Chain A
Amino acid sequence: MSPVLAIVTPLTAAVFLPLVSIWGKKHLSGTIAVLGFLSLAFTLVTALGGWKSPLVERVGGWSPDLGIVLVVDPLSSLFLLLGATGFALTFVGSLEKLGGGPWRYYTLLFLSWASVNGIFSTGDLFNLYVFYEIFSVSAYLLVAFSSMAWQAVEAGFKYLLFGTVGALFFLMGTAFTFISTGALNLALLSEALPKAPPAAVTVLSGCLIIALMVKAGIFPAHFWLPDAHSSAQSAVSALLSGVLVKVSLYVLLRLASLFFLPLVPETFPLLMTAGCLSLLAGHVMAWRQDDLKRLLAYSTVAQIGYVLIGIGCASPAGFTAALYQVFSHMGAKMGIFLTAGLLIDGAKTRKIDELAGAGRCRPFLAVSFVFFASALVGLPPLNGFTSKWLLTLASLESGTALPALCLVAGTLISAGYYLKVIRSLLSPVPGRAPLDRKARPAALGCLICLIALCLVLTALPYMPELWKGLTLRLSRTAWDPSAYIRTVIGP
């Protein structure tokens, strides 16, 4: 199965939808469902194929030094799976809430799915940049596409500004790479870069790291993130926090194993520091919020910090912990954003105080909020706890106790602010007007899927055989680039 299809299908869908909206308005939601299903199927098949044995596709038959190569190795296929889950749930939720009407919105969703799949499977630095830009532009517009007009537009503008700065840094890094080596293929680069002048390598890795920090919303380059994630519609917020932020983390992981680890190991303490700062600042800022969605957005800043701590350990254990945290956060944060969205839609307010009693009228949502919040705080034995434990182990192994202390502080602060929300949701408020309780079976289904995902993630490390095989496989691909290089340019 060629990875091309996983990119082309959603891309075609994005082009096809405007045509359908002109000639076949009646069939719009059906078409979206079918195209979404096709994209999902192709992505899943690609991911499965890449997990079994790495897939390589030379686009147009060109050799790696001239053309673009698409590579799906186990790391890519894990992220493809993550993207597929997130996009599928977003499509289901959006179709139920908005119907097929706003076709522009679905076009953007398909476009961003195509570019995300592209980023996960491309093996070429410049091609990565191009996909990154498609992805960013569609994300800016998705943020601005909301009913809360001026706030969303402002947030989209801020995102655009910061995204452009990040993209510029990325482009500069790519240009420097090309100038100093003459190659753009990632596998070829990892062999050519050691021969490049060290000063050039320092500058280009600096550019790439800054770009990724901005795009991933890491403190202190996170200023766009809380606005963007909170002003969008809840389904989009869930997608942004659950999947789209992880795209930058994938690129960071990939570049870390290919370039930074052998060439510029100084980046790792930097990433660790940034992770700790992000964690503390994100949690403290979340504590200060009175707007539920902003609170969750700041919590995302903190949780991305956890991933950075894992990467900053610069060890197989750290990379595995970072990957586990990526998945664990995706399940829990998407779930809590969707739950919060349903509560907010019902109560027509985002203020935590005004949501008082909202959980009492809708017990299932209250239970799911508590579940996802406990997973994010890291109460045992849920997945957040496991990822905290893995991160603690990995960071202590790398010889510093500071991240472990930050994790303890993070647990306390996050428990504090989630309890604040839960207390408000459960508080008895006499004489409150009945809330809007439109039944949303598909959205509830999505929540159940995410709860199941969290439970599977929770159970996984307790199955020794499976877990050992999985971590071995992952640390071999995420940590050791030689397999990747071999797959692309042959032995």
Chain B
Amino acid sequence: MTLSPLSLALMPRPDGISLSLSGLALFMTLCTALYTKGYGSSAHRPSRILFSCGLWGFGLFAVLTPLAADWFSMTVFMELASVALFLMIFTGDRDTAVMYLLTQLAGAGFLLAGTALLYLKTGQLEVGRVPSSLLPWFLLGLGIKAALPGLHFWLPPTHSRAPTPASVLLSGFAVKMGLYGLMRLSCPDTERLFLFAGLVMALYGAIQALFQRDVKRLLAFSTISQLGFVLAALGSGGAGGVTAALLYSTAHGLFKGLLFCSAGVLEKTCETRDLSRLAFRQSASPLLLGLFLAGALAITGFPGTSGFIVKALVKTALKEGHHAAAIRLLSLAGLGTTLYLCKMAYYGFLGGGGGPAPKTARPAADPRCLAAMAFLAAATLLSGILPLILPGLLHGQAGSWLSPSQLIPAGLPIIGGLAAFVLVPSAFRPNRGDIPDLYSFFTLLGLPGRAVSDLLGKMHNGRIRMYLFVLLGLALLVFFRLSLG
């Protein structure tokens, strides 16, 4: 076999999945660019240049990733998008940026090896299902990007420590690139895995988010929880599973972007992300509060927002696949969602729980930030209202949106969550430290590596006698191996 020439190709006729994700990438980049104008970046000029290079580079490659015709091009675009995001994070927090880049490079490496195997096995690279023997490579590669359970260790620290515009893009689109790959992969072989992983993520993310003090860390775990909903939809085995997953990830990009934007404004105006300290502030301006609420209602699945529609779609898909237990578990995760958003709203925006101490005022937010948030909120609300007033937009569910059979399961977690938050407020006070996540476990994994590195270091001790001895051993080994024949 001679080596094929390399090529970067785009789909000649992209389908709905690719087009809508590309559109989302473009919209998110534009909103983030506007948000960044108001958010303000480093005073240092090279840092600013690096940041805008990262932003627009990310926009370009994020738009191209879903449009790529083959796995090779997709891997390349995805890796370039990660490098661009790395540049953005690098201007803020360098350690986090390095950690982020290394995890993404590992993912891309596995994906590339899987792609090579696919090419050798089938002779073509089209984005789509792959033979089941190659699934581990692809799942490992895409799983790091999409933060599958166990591979998610990089996500909470990265999302929380990155500069807010980068967090918006990370949660808003970067994780969707991995999900996009998983959507293309999904086949009967992966259903059980996706469903199981999705439920684990949805519950684990919600529980972790509930006990966070750092607003951005809370939102990062919320992202894991929401990605779990998407994966569960992919694993439902129902006819509408992929559509539900696609719409859920689009909607999540918009409202999670909005929530990260509001967290960024909080951080900027109050100079802290700690909920226990934000509690000593007066309540936020009505405009900011309203924009935040648009995102918060959408993420809990309040009727009239995009979250309501997509949650209903996921449940329909699961119903079709006869996974009643999964629906109940997701409702539980939905309860958790309501609770952690109540916590964020009450302590972060309403200045609640501060006690008798005098409250300090909040400076006003930059109008450009608010404008970017308004765009995101408008998109969230519009995509929530349109299917309600235009039945048939999502065929199959025409007219049934506002029936009690849809409204009651959507409303229960919200009402239940609100009631729990009002009745037992002490359980959700932001006064404890972080619950350990897998991140520290993965640093433990470095220990054997360190041992090997120390051993190698000891080997290079500068004694020529020893070096020659090793050389002799090598020679004997070579002769021994060759004489075996």
The chain A residues found within 8 Å of chain B, CB to CB, are 158, 161-162, 165, 169, 202-203, 205-206, 209-210, 213-214, 220-221, 223-224, 226, 264, 266-267, 270, 281, 284-285, 287-288, 315-317, 320-321, 363, 379-381, 385-386, 388-390, 392-394, 396-397, 401, 404-405, 407-408, 411-412, 415-416, 419, 423, 428, 461-464, 467-468, 471-472, 475
Contact A423 B94 (CB under 8 A): yes
The minimal Cβ–Cβ distance linking B317 to chain A, given in whole angstroms, is 35
* Binary per-residue interface labels of chain B (76-119) against chain A in the complex, 1 for a CB within 8 Å, 0 otherwise: 10011001000000000010001001100110011011001101
List the A side residues contacting B2 at CB < 8 Å. Answer: 316-317, 320, 468, 471-472, 475
Contact B474 A206 (CB under 8 A): no
The minimal Cβ–Cβ distance linking B20 to chain A, given in whole angstroms, is 25
Chain A interface: which of B211-219, B274-282, B476-484? B476-484
* Binary per-residue interface labels of chain B (118-158) against chain A in the complex, 1 for a CB within 8 Å, 0 otherwise: 01100000000000000000000000000000000000000
Contact B109 A221 (CB under 8 A): no
Chain A interface: which of B5-13, B180-188, B380-388, B402-410? B5-13
Contact A205 B482 (CB under 8 A): yes
The minimal Cβ–Cβ distance linking B189 to chain A, given in whole angstroms, is 20
B389 within 8 A of A: no
List the A side residues contacting B483 at CB < 8 Å. Answer: 202
Contact B116 A270 (CB under 8 A): no
List the B side residues contacting A317 at CB < 8 Å. Answer: 1-3
B468 within 8 A of A: yes
The minimal Cβ–Cβ distance linking B112 to chain A, given in whole angstroms, is 6
Contact count band on B:
35 or more
9 extra A-B contacts, CB within 8 A, seeds A266-B481, A320-B2, A389-B112:
A270-B478, A284-B449, A317-B1, A380-B75, A396-B120, A404-B116, A407-B109, A423-B98, A461-B6
The answer for the CA separation of A394 and B1 in the assembled complex, in Å, is 10
The answer for the CA separation of A415 and B6 in the assembled complex, in Å, is 24
The answer for the CA separation of A213 and B474 in the assembled complex, in Å, is 10
B435 within 8 A of A: no
Contact B475 A169 (CB under 8 A): yes
B464 within 8 A of A: yes
B357 within 8 A of A: no
Contact A462 B3 (CB under 8 A): no
B470 within 8 A of A: yes
The minimal Cβ–Cβ distance linking B52 to chain A, given in whole angstroms, is 16
Contact A467 B5 (CB under 8 A): yes
CB<8 Å pairs between A and B, sample of 26: A158-B464, A161-B464, A165-B468, A169-B475, A221-B471, A221-B474, A223-B467, A223-B470, A224-B467, A266-B485, A281-B456, A284-B452, A315-B1, A316-B2, A317-B3, A320-B2, A380-B79, A389-B72, A392-B116, A393-B120, A396-B113, A404-B116, A411-B105, A412-B109, A416-B98, A416-B102
Contact B464 A206 (CB under 8 A): no
* A419 contact from B101, B456, B468, Cβ within 8 A: B101
List the B side residues contacting A471 at CB < 8 Å. Answer: 2-3
B467 — nearest CB in chain A belongs to which residue?
Answer: A223
The minimal Cβ–Cβ distance linking B92 to chain A, given in whole angstroms, is 14
B453 within 8 A of A: yes
B433 within 8 A of A: no
The answer for the CA separation of A267 and B479 in the assembled complex, in Å, is 10
B358 within 8 A of A: no
List the B side residues contacting A284 at CB < 8 Å. Answer: 449, 452-453, 456
B37 within 8 A of A: no
The minimal Cβ–Cβ distance linking A202 to chain B, given in whole angstroms, is 5
The minimal Cβ–Cβ distance linking A443 to chain B, given in whole angstroms, is 23
Contact B481 A270 (CB under 8 A): yes
List the A side residues contacting B112 at CB < 8 Å. Answer: 388-389, 392
Within 8 A of A (CB), among B1-49: 1-3, 5-8, 44, 46
B480 — nearest CB in chain A belongs to which residue?
Answer: A206
Known contacts A165-B471, A392-B112, A405-B113: does B478 contact A210 (CB below 8 Å)?
A: yes
Known contacts A267-B482, A416-B102, A472-B2: does B474 contact A220 (CB below 8 Å)?
A: yes
List the A side residues contacting B464 at CB < 8 Å. Answer: 158, 161
B457 within 8 A of A: yes
The minimal Cβ–Cβ distance linking B113 to chain A, given in whole angstroms, is 4
Known contacts A223-B467, A284-B453, A392-B116: does B76 contact A380 (CB below 8 Å)?
A: yes
Contact A210 B474 (CB under 8 A): yes
B328 within 8 A of A: no
The answer for the CA separation of A390 and B120 in the assembled complex, in Å, is 12
* Binary per-residue interface labels of chain B (170-196) against chain A in the complex, 1 for a CB within 8 Å, 0 otherwise: 000000000000000000000000000
Contact A266 B482 (CB under 8 A): yes
